[in-house]
Amino acid sequence: MKITNIKNYLTSIWGFMLGITLFFLICALYSIVFCGSGIFLLKKYNKKNTKLFKEIQTQQIFGMILIIIGILPYLDTIMRGLFFNLGSNIGQNIWDIFSEN
């Protein structure tokens, strides 16, 4: 192996890692902006002396939509976690049913 090959490999690896880090940074900023704006609208337009979701205003609905938009990049991770646990629980229940007999 030549030194230039190693240099090219290391440059490619560092570029790849920088690209992934930049992608996750952009996703985090996207979520912070949208979720933060949604939370701001929820709290700002809440009626005085009421709980947060008791009497919802139009601006609060828009805030909830912004929060949902901000969570979208992580929806696949949330769904995978939920379905993995659901499948695990169903499998455990089936095992318990058949092992009783």
Per residue in 66-76, pLDDT tens? 999 999 988 88
Check if the beta carbon of residue 31 is closer than 8 Å to that of residue 74. yes
pLDDT tops 70 at residue 101: no
**Measured between alpha carbons, how far is residue 44 from residues 38, 52, 65 in Å?**
10, 10, 15
pLDDT tops 90 at residue 29: yes
- H helical segments located in 3-74: 3-44, 58-71
Check if the beta carbon of residue 56 is closer than 8 Å to that of residue 43. no
Query: What is the distance between the alpha carbons of residues 14 and 72, in angstroms, rounded to a whole number?
Result: 28
Count of domains forming the chain = 1
What residue type is 79 in one-letter code? M
Q: Is the overall model pTM greater than 0.75, yes or no?
A: no
Place of tokens 């030194």: 3
For 82-96, the pLDDT digits (tens) are 899 999 999 899 988
Tell me the two tokens of residue 31. Answer: 């979520």
What does the pLDDT read at residue 54? 86
- Residues of the domain holding 13: 3-100
